[in-house]
């Protein structure tokens, strides 16, 4: 396949491989000849499109023609513009599809004392404030030699926050740090404070709920003579507490998977994202849960999510999710539609609608059961939406903090980053999968070569169960563990 028309109503097709000027494109009974070279992932007009007329892809408008476009022309940023406006009013017109239950499957995970399930048995060191980042990293380096039994790693998750913050900004940090401390992928946690910071340990304890003192240890650096030696001693105690814990068979209905894309290209909405969407439907059919975020990359495709909301209350929460994020842009005097990125454009994505319609393919076809605020943990099984920006590190961290055991990250251009939980990279094309085998865990590009979407979605589901059972993803093998909090407002 060298090109594809995604939907019967589209007036453009997408080059799956680079096309030369003068190449004939035949779809059904109609043919056009390319008027210029067309890079892979980019669009070709299938008919004459007048200035101001809709450009249709995925069966939906992705923008307006800035000028007359001839059949066979390259359709991209030079001749297409966004059609999106600012705040919108929406009507609830439900189109809900029930996902049929399928036979349950299982993975080998860790059952925690509070009943929660983890897919890793790690020791996490969580600084309450950036002032003690170096101390956390020093403890991590020395404590790795103490790893034994089923303990898989000791990881310090450093960040620059925890003090000099106000209002919602400070609240974000406290919620996310509490989510980290409570995350079941950590068998043990050392909370490392300085002592004089705003988000100090006594304050954080109010956000934690019931504390298992065998699992969570606290250290205030200003109150001990040697914080590194004391920290190492506490980590050793945590390791001893969980070293004998074993993986046990756990039903896949307890899995929570986050879904994210970044470094997208023109194939993201054709291969990787639809495969992840099919995966989401498979997991939900087995009683599991998925979380979709990147709110700015829902703009232009939000109505497709709204019509899948399970009820009016969930619809209203989705409307608020979209419009509140638009107001976030406006309140900071920023353009709402300053998207896609230069890399997205180079890969063939022309407008935010183009990007969003591809991005939301990751949600599959299941109904939306809930909408989560930033830092809120999942309560309802099924497909959830989460408030978070599109930034890769911030959004992936947000997914983990809402309860995701694993993050699926689709990419057309590649990235080595990680998150606090296993971050499984899915390439949209085989070129990337072959060129960056040290980054990529799964090749969705085969969908346009030798495998169907259903086959690849089932392969991905099996791989996720393997990762949940202990198989390391490429970023884990490389030792990468990133953590980023959503910054807002004033710094003192």
Q: What is the pLDDT of residues 307-323, one digit of tens each?
A: 999 999 999 999 999 99
Position 477 scores a pLDDT of 98
Tell me what the mean pLDDT of segment 2-8 comes to: 94
Residue 356 falls inside a structural domain: yes
The pLDDT value given to residue 175:
97
Residues 202 and 281 in one domain: no
Please report, for the domain that includes residue 127, its CATH number. Answer: 3.40.50
Q: Are residues 290 and 275 in the same domain?
A: yes
Q: Is the peptide bond before 340 cis (omega within 30 degrees of 0)?
A: yes
Residue 285 has pLDDT above 80, yes or no: yes
Predicted local confidence at residue 349, as pLDDT:
92
Average of per-residue pLDDT across 203-213: 95
> What does each C-alpha distance from 393 to 389, 407, 423 come to in angstroms?
10, 11, 11
Alpha helix (H) ranges present in 4-59? none
Domain that residue 318 falls in: 251-478
What pLDDT was estimated at residue 200?
A: 96
Domain check: are 259 and 395 in the same one? yes
Is residue 56 very low, low, confident or very high in pLDDT (cuts 50, 70, 90)? very high
Q: Over 90: is that where the pLDDT of 332 sits?
A: no
Q: Are 352 and 82 in contact (CB under 8 A)?
A: yes
Largest CA distance in the chain: 81
Read off the pLDDT of each residue in 436-459 and give the average, rounded to a whole number: 96
Domain count, the chain: 3
- Residues 38 and 73: their CA atoms lie apart, in Å, by 9
Alpha-carbon distance of 297 to 439, in angstroms, equals: 24
**Which of 124-128, 253-257, 324-328, 475-479 is predicted with the least confidence, judged by mean pLDDT?**
324-328
**Predicted pLDDT at 189:** 98
Identify which of 270, 361, 300, 364 has the alpha carbon closest to the alpha carbon of residue 12: 270
What is the rounded distance in angstroms from the CA atom of residue 404 to the CA atom of residue 378? 9
Same domain, 225 and 267: no
Q: Which of 193, 224, 244 is the last residue of a domain?
A: 244
User: Are 70 and 127 found together in one domain?
Assistant: no
Q: For position 94, what pLDDT does the model report?
A: 96
Confidence of residue 340 (pLDDT cuts 50, 70, 90): confident
Q: How would residue 288 be classed by pLDDT, with cut points 50, 70 and 90?
A: very high
- Give the residue from 244, 273, 288 where a domain finishes: 244
Percentage, residues of the chain above pLDDT 70: 100
Buried b (16+ CB within 10 A) or exposed e, 76-94: beebbbbbbeeeeeeeeee
User: Does residue 486 sit within a domain?
Assistant: no
Same domain, 225 and 271: no
Q: Are residues 218 and 321 in the same domain?
A: no
Is residue 117 one of the residues assigned to a domain?
no
Task: Look up tokens 């939306």; give the residue.
Answer: 368
Q: Quick one: pLDDT at residue 210?
A: 94
For residue 155, what are the CA distances in angstroms to 31, 109, 122, 340, 403?
A: 57, 19, 8, 34, 18
Please say whether the beta carbons of 482 and 419 come within 8 A: yes
- Residue 260 falls inside a structural domain: yes
Pure H helices in 332-429? 342-346, 352-359, 392-401
What the block records as the tokens of 456 is 């690849």
Nearest to 442 by CA among 421, 463, 422, 458: 463
Q: Any idea which residue has 């407002």 for tokens?
A: 489
Note whether 228 and 317 are same-domain residues: no
Q: Is residue 113 part of a domain?
A: no
294 and 181 both lie in a single domain? no
Residue 231, classed as helix, strand or coil, is: helix
Confidence of residue 492 (pLDDT cuts 50, 70, 90): confident
Q: Are residues 278 and 396 in the same domain?
A: yes
**Is 96 among the domain residues?**
no
Phi (first) and psi of residue 161, to 5 degrees: -110, -170
Average model confidence (pLDDT) across the chain: 96
State how far the Cα of 125 lies from the Cα of 481, in Å rounded to an integer. 12
| Residue 137, pLDDT score | 98
Q: What percent of the chain has pLDDT over 90?
A: 92
Whether 492 maps to a domain, the answer reads: no
Q: Which DSSP symbol is given to 38?
A: B
Pairwise CA distance, residues 230 & 238, whole Å: 13
What the block records as the tokens of 202 is 């006594």
Nearest to residue 35, comparing CAs of 51, 43, 27, 23? 23
CATH number at residue 41: 2.30.130.110
- The confidence band for 343, taking pLDDT boundaries of 50, 70 and 90, is confident
**Angle at alpha carbon of residue 186, lines to 411 and 397, rounded to 5°:** 35
Mean pLDDT, residues 397-404 taken together: 98
Average pLDDT over residues 295-303: 93
- Going across the sheet that includes 80-81, the strands are 54-57, 60-65, 80-81
Quick: pLDDT tens for 20-52.
999 999 999 889 999 999 999 999 999 999 999
445 & 362 share domain: yes
**pLDDT-based confidence at 403, cuts 50/70/90?**
very high
**What are the residues facing 61 on neighbouring strands?**
56
Helix, strand, coil share of the chain (percent; to 5): 35, 20, 45
For the cut 90, the answer to whether the pLDDT of residue 88 exceeds it is no
pTM listed for this prediction: 0.94
- Cα-based angle 278, 283, 289 (whole degrees, multiple of 5): 115
Task: Report the pLDDT averaged over residues 89-115.
Answer: 96
- Is 224 in the same domain as 209? yes
Average pLDDT estimate for 268-287: 97
Q: What's the pLDDT band for 225 if we cut at 50, 70, 90?
A: very high
- Is residue 103 domain-resident? no
- pLDDT for 137-169, tens place per residue? 999 999 999 999 999 999 999 999 999 999 999
> Which of 209, 244, 279 is where one domain is finished?
244
């Amino acid at each position: 396949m060298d090109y594809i028309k995604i939907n019967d109503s589209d007036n453009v097709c997408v080059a799956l491989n680079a096309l030369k000027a003068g190449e004939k494109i035949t779809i059904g009974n109609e043919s056009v000849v390319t008027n210029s070279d067309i890079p892979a992932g980019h669009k070709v007009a299938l008919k004459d499109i007048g200035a101001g007329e809709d450009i249709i892809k995925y069966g939906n408008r992705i923008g307006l023609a800035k000028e007359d476009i001839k059949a066979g022309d390259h359709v991209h940023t030079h001749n297409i513009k966004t059609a999106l406006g600012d705040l919108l009013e929406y009507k609830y017109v439900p189109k809900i599809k029930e996902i049929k239950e399928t036979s349950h499957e299982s993975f080998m995970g860790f059952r925690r004392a509070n009943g929660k399930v983890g897919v890793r048995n790690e020791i996490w060191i969580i600084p309450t404030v950036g002032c003690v980042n170096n101390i956390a990293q020093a403890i991590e380096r020395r404590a790795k030699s103490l790893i034994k039994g089923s303990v898989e790693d000791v990881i310090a998750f450093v960040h620059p926050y925890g003090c000099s913050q106000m209002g919602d900004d400070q609240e974000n940090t406290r919620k996310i740090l509490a989510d980290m401390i409570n995350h079941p992928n950590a068998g043990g946690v050392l909370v490392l404070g300085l002592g004089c910071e705003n988000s100090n340990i006594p304050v954080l304890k109010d956000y934690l709920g019931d504390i298992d003192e065998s699992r969570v240890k606290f250290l205030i650096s200003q109150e001990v003579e040697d914080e590194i030696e004391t920290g190492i001693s506490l980590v050793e105690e945590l390791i001893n507490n969980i070293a004998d814990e074993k993986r046990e068979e756990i039903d896949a209905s307890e899995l929570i998977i986050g879904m994210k894309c970044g470094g997208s290209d023109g194939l993201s909405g054709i291969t990787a994202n639809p495969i992840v969407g099919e995966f989401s439907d498979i997991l939900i059919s087995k009683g599991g849960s998925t979380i979709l975020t990147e709110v700015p990359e829902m703009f232009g495709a939000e109505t497709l999510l709204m019509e899948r909301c399970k009820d009016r209350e969930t619809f209203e929460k989705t409307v608020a999710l979209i419009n509140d994020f638009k107001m976030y842009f406006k309140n900071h005097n920023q353009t709402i539609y300053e998207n896609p990125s230069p890399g997205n454009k180079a890969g063939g994505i022309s407008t935010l609608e183009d990007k969003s319609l591809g991005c939301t393919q990751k949600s599959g076809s299941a109904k939306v059961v809930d909408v989560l605020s930033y830092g809120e943990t999942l309560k309802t099984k099924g497909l959830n939406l989460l408030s978070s920006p599109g930034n890769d590190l911030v959004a992936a961290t947000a997914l983990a903090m809402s309860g995701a055991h694993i993050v699926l990250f689709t990419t057309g251009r590649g990235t080595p980053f990680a998150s606090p939980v296993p971050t499984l990279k899915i390439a949209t094309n085989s070129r990337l999968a072959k060129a960056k085998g040290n980054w990529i865990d799964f090749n969705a590009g085969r969908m346009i070569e030798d495998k169907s979407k259903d086959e690849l979605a089932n392969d991905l589901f099996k791989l996720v169960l393997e990762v949940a059972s202990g198989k390391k993803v490429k970023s884990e093998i490389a030792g990468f563990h990133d953590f980023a909090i959503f910054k807002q407002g004033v710094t003192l």
